[in-house]
Structure 1
Amino acid sequence: MNTTTRQTKVKEFLWKDISLSIEPGKKGAKKCLLDNVSGSLKPGEIMALMGPSGSGKTTLLNILAHRKVPTHGSLDGEVLINNNPTTRSLIKEVSAYVEQEDSLIGSLTVRETVDFNARLAGIPKAYRHELVEETIRSLGLKDQSGVQVGTPLQKGISGGQKRRLSIASQMVSKPSILFLDEPTSGLDSVASKEVISMIKRVAEEENMIVICSIHQPSTSVFQLFDKVTFLSKGKMVYAGTVNDVVDYFGSAGYSIPVHYNPSEYILDLINIDFSTGTEGCQDDEYNQKELVLNDLFEKWDNRRPSLTSEAKEDEQEEKQDGGALAEEETYVRPCIRFKNYFLKECNRINILLKRSLIKSRRDLLAYYVRIVMYLGLAIMMGTVWLRLDNDQDNIQPFMNALFFSGAFMSFMSVAYIPAFLEDYSSYVKDNANGLYGPFAFLTSNFIIGLPFLFAISLIFSIVTYFMCNFRHSAIGFWYYVMWLFLDLVAAESMTIFMCSVFPNFVVSLSLTAFANGLWMSVGGFLVSQKVLNVFWYYTFYWIDYQRYVFQGMMFNEFSERVYRCNSECYCMYNSPLASQCKIAGNAVLQNLGYGEYKKGLWAGILIVLIFVYRLGSYILLKLRS
């Protein structure tokens, strides 16, 4: 089956005189990362980018794919498709990029991983199943199609199979151009040959252009490539067919020994990183290698084929064809454009919700461990504050219990960080390949989390509310659940925001823990708002979501409750019921400086804070994308 999902037909992919230089600092000299690098590929061809570490392989790959390049650099040259200048949106439409790191969702199976990528790529349902099965079979993963990728708690497929799955998940959309960054990284020679062989076969069958950076392939792997470009210090040493490599270097005066791996010999020839001599001087070996390298640069500059004539022929062909990239410019009313965008986003959200639901059901770290953790926290709390009665001595323990339930429920949201960072890694990869954006990602993440957070709040409330002997009221119980639920949603929204600021486990964990400590400190319980420092009062006190949760639970518990004074009728709080040796719960609230019970306002503020955290996350991801 040969089904093309990309609209633009790529007849040739061409890059001319790509140069990139950066300014390392005020006093540093300008550093050249790439210097006049050119090349071309046609459908069905597979090219290797090779060179020593730091030679510019990945930098060139990123420039060709319109990926991240240094913002403080100077970039020159052209990247063309069918002799037409490319744009980031066009490259996203016709290409896919497989990064060196496998960003896969561990709780999905091999088939589900490929299938969801096919759905997000917009492949029609009529032949999606057949295409997914064909892609899995072509990458040699048929026997593992029902196996989960693997999580830290559950073993899955092997490293080589993960590499092939990463490639399969991008190949399923049938891109015209496939970029691969170190596809054989971490694999042995047998697995490397297996991966490259399958890529070559699929490229030939689907007329796909494949460009991959590769470090040091074996002879058998090297021979699988149609073309190769050798780089050193950002300059071209050779670019052409693999079959001509031996002849070219022989004619240049550097004959490759018989039965010697050509790529290994050439890489050793052009690598001067380990020939720097002693400190303060350069030895003879370095000088010799430097001379050899400069000689190779000069000879290639004199002999490398000109792309001008070929480009002119293609340009003439494009004119005869009417331009392969020319698109019909039709006016679409803004309302229709918005409707199409809205429907597309809704479809993406729906697909991501289905994927997230599967992940949430299977991933023990996402919610199940948290449920067990919160249940353990609830049992501990219930046994510590076990069956408190209405004596005035228990007023402070009741307040402590309410504070503990809200503050520590919020604090333990840090347990969600690993699961979110896994989703974030998958999002970064998919977003760069144009599958979906930050709105669909964050919206689906928010929706899928609500039922789990509500379940956690309900389980925690059932245990703690009755064990601690809070106010006996059905309404009071459900308000308690509501405040805890809003608390958890706000805490998770803040956690996601911190992860969006710094998508690193240690940093985001530290920031989230610090923020929770801050909210606990300025919420008005540990330090009363009457004596709270003015700086904290007029800044963080008013945006502290834990404060509104605690106030809501305090009013829910104390506003309709009555406590007994001691046996001598001494009352810790003065209230209208003092003559009856009782304390009205409202007297406790007034003593703390609380006024009216504004549950609607406080719940509204919590929803606004949740929205602000989510909006902040969206803005950050949008700016990065």
Structure 2
Amino acid sequence: MTFYVYVAQQHAIRVDTSATVHFPCLITDQRPLPVHLAFRGITVSVGGRQVLQDVDGLVRPGQVLAVMGPSGCGKTTLLNALSGRLKLDSGQIFFNREPLCKRWKRKICYVLQQDIFFPDLTLRQTLEYTARLRLPDTMSHSQKMQYVDHIIDVLELGQCQDTIIGDYIKRGLSGGEKKRANIACELLTNPSLMLLDEPTSGLDSHAAHGLMTTLKRYAVSEGKTVVITLHQPSSQIFHLCDKLLLLCNGQTAYFGDTCKVVDFFSSVGLNIMPHYNPADFILEQVKGPPELRQRIINAAKEARKGKDYPAELQHDYHYISEKYNDHSNKILPATHGPYLEQDTLNAMEPDVRRLWMDTHSHASSSVSSETSDADCYFSWPTSFWTQFKVLSQRNFQEARPRMLSKLNWVQTVGLGFLAGLLWFQLERKEQALHDIQGWMFFSTTYWMLFAHFGALSSFPPEREVINKERQSGAYRLSAYYLAKMFGELPLTVSLPAVYHLISYPMLGVHSPMVFLTMLGFLLLNTIVAQSVGFFIGACCMDMQVSITISALYTLATQLFGGYLATNIPYWLTWMRYLSMVHYAYQNMQIVEFEEGLPIKCAPHSKYAICSELDYIPVSSIIESQGPCLPLWANTLVLLAFLLVFRVLGYIVLRYFRAPK
């Protein structure tokens, strides 16, 4: 099969589509319904500024619509509107003559301009996790992996499938490979409509042409509808597109066949030089003086009145009218509009005409059932348990290289031995009491800071990935949040446990139960500190602001922990109850001095009780630092800290940091 695009009535570029891209029907028993996309009168304002004004467009199954224009003309805004992520001021968007609703949003994939991934995962791991999350539970694991293999083959990613994604620090995939990986993640759901925001940006001409050729072949052979924004394409890439929508100052400067754009500009007195790239030529014109831009826009408005303008975009063409149920306010199906005229159908390419007829014969017979009330609600592709399980595995695999890096292991083991040597085999005497407390306070505060700032630094880059996946409807936020808590829990407690295992025996183990209980409170304090880090990281979009807030909180926590200062002014005593270190430090003292060997009094002891006893009771040690709570109360307060900050973090992500 060969597809021809005629250019300026002089040349013909041949695109070989014989290497068809047949995707296996693994998701449903039937081939996905092709989508006929039409939008007219689109007007959108962002931040009080009108970005798009009265924009029309039409693209049929098997076609590629290129949206072009200078920077700031509204290309990305148009894609956001077509995907349903932006509210329209006015205008209509129709999928197979039906208004856009949540049922159609499930059939759209939106490939963002930024390639946002977890850098430590390989390409194959990224695709496998995406498939397990976004393909339905009715598919077996082997079927999902078969689909991943097929996507890798189609997009020619086999040679780099075991390479990490990488970032500006770690070398990984090249720019072109990341672009194809970004597209591959979206193709896994076998969408009917693809929206791509400048996928060729940052690629060399060869990589960009290869990517566009693959997309074109995919659209024609699979009957997909593709809308793509291009900044400044080469001549080859430009002629791969069937339709062109040229924007200027948020208005339509041209809409129609790509091969006719040169004739359109000639009709307004703008003639292209021989052997000149049409894409460069038209972009130069819409960047010209205001008078020239207005002349082009006026000519585009006049072209709408011509007989060649698509019938679906004419004002007298009636789509399904919007009727609303008084009780549910949901769109219900109504009457159908007329079909395209026969002359328009005959002018289509054979493959495009076949897809168009298939689409509308299907729509006319089943539209009433397909737009039922239930269809306008979103349903998750997988269950909560599947999402939790997959996200837990992914969080563990993604965070392990970062949290258990070689440097962190060296730091932990070295610090453990250093602390053990510094407080080596301390005698259970009053003279060594301050040193024993010093080990407790140092251990508690160090791992508090380590976990807190570790969570803080990992959250901002991860948040971009989560926002992208949430916008695509991949999983529930609650599933992600719980999976992050449980998936990273073994990694969070590993290093503090190793430190305790090294340093505490060197300090002097007197009871296995004391050893384990001390470890439990050290780990509990570490997890609480991580919770506070998650909460601050979720609240603050600016990393510098979050570091400043965290520094103030953690330093205040140390100051009021009960070791550095005991004579606290009465009007500041309330702050010790906000210090997580205060409760963990007290609990460690209670366990160590009550269950362990007693602390013998010095000859000239500062404790009055030593006049009656030859050892210092734990109550006297704790009371010398100020008011204290029993062991169970301190533990409950720490658990309350843990619960409150975790819940607050979820609330912030759910209601205040939800992706737009």
Shift of residue 532 of structure 1?
4.3
User: What code does the residue aligned with 1:245 have?
Assistant: V
What CA deviation, in whole Å up to 9, does each residue of 1:315-335 have, x standing for no partner?
34667323177345579xxxx
Amino acid at match of 1:590: E
CA distance in 1, matches of 2:192, 2:468: 18
Distance in 1 (CA, whole Å) between partners of 2:528 and 2:651 is 18
Aligned-partner Cα distance in 1 for 2:478–2:60: 36
| Match 1:550 to one of 553, 578, 585 | 585
Equivalent position of 1:563 in the other structure: 599
SS in 2 for 1:593: coil
Partner of 1:20: 44
Residue type of the alignment partner of 1:610: L
- The one-letter code of the counterpart of 1:46 is V
Give the aligned residue type for 1:66. G
Aligned: 1:178 with 2:202: no
Check whether the contact 2:380–2:474 (CA below 8 A) recurs between aligned residues: no
CA distance in 2, matches of 1:23, 1:148: 38
Q: Please, which of 285, 298, 322 is the counterpart of residue 366 of structure 2?
A: 322
* Range moving further from structure 2, 35-44 or 585-594: 585-594
Q: Is the 8 A contact 1:370 1:415 kept in 2?
A: no
Structure 1: how far apart are the matches of 2:61 and 2:461?
34
Asked whether the equivalents of residues 50 and 57 of structure 1 are also in contact (C-alpha less than 8 Å), the reply is yes
Q: Residue 98 of structure 1: CA displacement? A: 1.5
Q: 2:297 matched to which residue of 1?
A: 297
% of aligned pairs identical?
Answer: 25
Distance 2:623 2:424 in 1: 26
- Structure 1 counterpart SS, 2:196: strand
Report the AA paired with residue 34 of structure 1: L
- In 1, are the aligned partners of 2:110 and 2:195 still within 8 Å (CA)? yes
Q: Distance in 2 between matches of 1:232 and 1:35?
A: 10
SS in 1 for 2:367: coil
Structure 1 residues 108, 495: CA separation in 2 closer, same or farther (over 3 Å shift)? same
**Contact 1:110/1:165 (<8 A) preserved:** yes
Question: 2:380, 2:475 within 8 Å by CA — same for their partners in 1?
Answer: no
**Greater shift after overlay, 383-392 or 493-502?**
383-392
Query: What amino acid is aligned across from residue 395 of structure 1 in structure 2?
Result: L
CA shift for structure 1 position 169: 0.8
* TM-fit CA distance, 1:245: 1.2
Letter in 2 for 1:80: F
Report how far residue 66 of structure 1 moved: 2.1
1:395 correspondence with 2:417: no
Contact 2:449-2:554 at 8 Å conserved across structures: yes
How many angstroms apart in 1 are the aligned matches of 2:198 and 2:404?
Answer: 30
1:315 is paired with a residue of what secondary structure? coil
Cα distance change, pair 379–152 in 1 and its aligned pair in 2 (3 A)? farther
Cα displacement (A) at 1:253: 1.7
SS at match of 1:39: strand
Counterpart AA for 1:564:
K
> Contact 2:135 / 2:381 at 8 angstroms: preserved in 1?
no
In structure 2, the residue matched to 1:531 is: 568
Task: Please tell me whether residue 3 in structure 1 is matched to residue 35 in structure 2.
Answer: no
Letter in 1 for 2:84: H
| 8 Å Cα contact 1:66/1:91 also seen in 2 | no
Please tell me whether residue 77 in structure 1 is matched to residue 63 in structure 2: no
- Maintained 8 Å contact 1:82/1:315: no
Deviation at 1:370, TM superposition (A): 3.8
In structure 2, C-alpha distance between the alignment counterparts of 1:2 and 1:310, rounded to whole Å: 37
Question: Cα deviations across residues 394-444 of structure 1 (Å, max 9, x unaligned)?
Answer: 222222221111112111121344443343222111111110121111111
CA contact (8 A) 1:13 1:40 kept: yes
Aligned residue among 48, 57, 67 for 1:39: 57
Q: CA deviation at 1:574?
A: 2.1
Task: Render the CA deviation track for 1:448-485: whole Å, top value 9, x for unaligned.
Answer: 1122223223211112212233x611111111111111
- C-alpha contact 1:223 1:242 (8 A) present in aligned 2: yes
- C-alpha distance after superposition, 1:159-194 (max 9, x if no partner): 210111011011111111122122112111111111
Conserved 8 A contact 2:412-2:499? yes
Instruction: Determine if contact 1:84/1:325 at 8 Å carries over to the other structure.
Output: no
Matched with 1:521 is: 559
Contact 1:571 1:581 in 2 (8 A): no
Tell me which residue corresponds to 1:373.
411
SS in 2 for 1:155: coil
Contact kept in structure 1, 2:388 and 2:483, CA below 8 Å: yes
Are the counterparts in 1 of residues 95 and 104 from structure 2 also a CA contact under 8 Å? no
Deviates more, 1:557-566 or 1:295-304: 557-566
| Cα distance in 2 for residues equivalent to 1:378 and 1:212 | 56
Q: Return the offset for 1:369.
A: 4.5
Q: In the alignment, what sits opposite 2:248?
A: 232
The 5 A counterparts of 1:429-448 are: 429-448=468-487
Q: Aligned AA for 1:545?
A: M
Q: Which amino acid is the alignment partner of residue 212 of structure 1?
A: I
1:10–1:81 Cα contact (<8 Å) kept: no
- Provide the residue aligned with 2:131 in structure 1: 118
How much has 1:447 moved relative to structure 2?
A: 0.6
Give the C-alpha shift of residue 32 in structure 1: 2.2
* Superposed CA offset, 1:213-272 (max 9, x none): 221111111111111211111111011221111121112221222211111111111115
Note the alpha carbon deviations across 1:505-531, whole angstroms, 9 max, x for none: 443333333321232233344343x63
Letter in 2 for 1:531: I
1:516–1:159 Cα change, 3 Å:
same
What number of residue pairs does the alignment pair up? Answer: 582
Distance 2:159 2:524 in 1: 45
How far has the Cα of 1:155 moved from its partner?
2.5
Contact 2:119 2:167 in 1 (8 A): yes
Q: Report what 1:104 is aligned to.
A: 117
Q: How does 1:84-163 map to 2 (within 5 A)?
A: 84-87=98-101, 89-123=102-136, 124-125=139-140, 127-150=143-166, 154-163=170-179
For 1:368 and 1:448, locate their aligned partners in 2 and report how far apart those are by CA, in whole Å.
20
115-124 vs 219-228, which deviates more? 115-124
Gaps of 5+ in 1: 25-30, 273-288, 332-336
Equivalent pair of 1:374/1:409 in contact (CA under 8 Å): no
Question: Which residue does the alignment assign to 1:587?
Answer: 620
What is the DSSP-based 3-state SS (H/G/I as helix, E as strand, rest coil) of the residue aligned with 1:323?
helix
Q: Distance in 1 between matches of 2:594 and 2:217?
A: 74
1:248 counterpart = 2:264:
yes
Change (3 A) 1:190 1:417: farther
Name 1:455's counterpart in structure 2. 494
| Counterpart residue number, 2:207 | 191
Matched, 1:615 2:647: yes
Shift of 1:157: 1.7
DSSP 3-state at the match of 2:72: coil
Cα shift at 1:346: 0.9
CA contact (8 A) 2:83 2:110 kept: yes
Aligned position for 1:65? 83
Letter in 2 for 1:293: R
1:116 Cα offset (Å): 1.5
Residues 241 and 375 from structure 1, CA distance in 2 versus in 1: closer, same or farther, beyond 3 angstroms?
Answer: farther
8 Å Cα contact 1:65/1:91 also seen in 2: no
1:424 aligns with 2:458: no
Q: Which residue of 2 aligns with 1:27?
A: none
- The structural deviation recorded for 1:375 is 3.2
Structure 2 Cα separation of the partners of residues 572 and 463 of structure 1: 33
CA separation in 2, counterparts of 1:440 and 1:77? 36
| Change over 3 Å in CA distance of 1:608–1:268 after alignment to 2 | same
- Range with bigger deviation, 375-384 or 105-114: 375-384
Q: TM-score, normalised by structure 1?
A: 0.86
Counterpart contact for 2:65–2:242, Cα < 8 Å: yes
Change (3 A) 1:325 1:62: farther
Runs (5+) with no aligned partner, structure 2: 1-22, 321-335, 340-359
Secondary structure, counterpart of 2:118 in structure 1: coil
Tell me by how many angstroms 1:355 deviates: 2.0
> Using a 3 Å threshold, how does the CA distance of structure 1 residues 175 and 320 change in structure 2: closer, same or farther?
closer
Determine the C-alpha separation between the residues in 2 that align with 1:427 and 1:257: 48
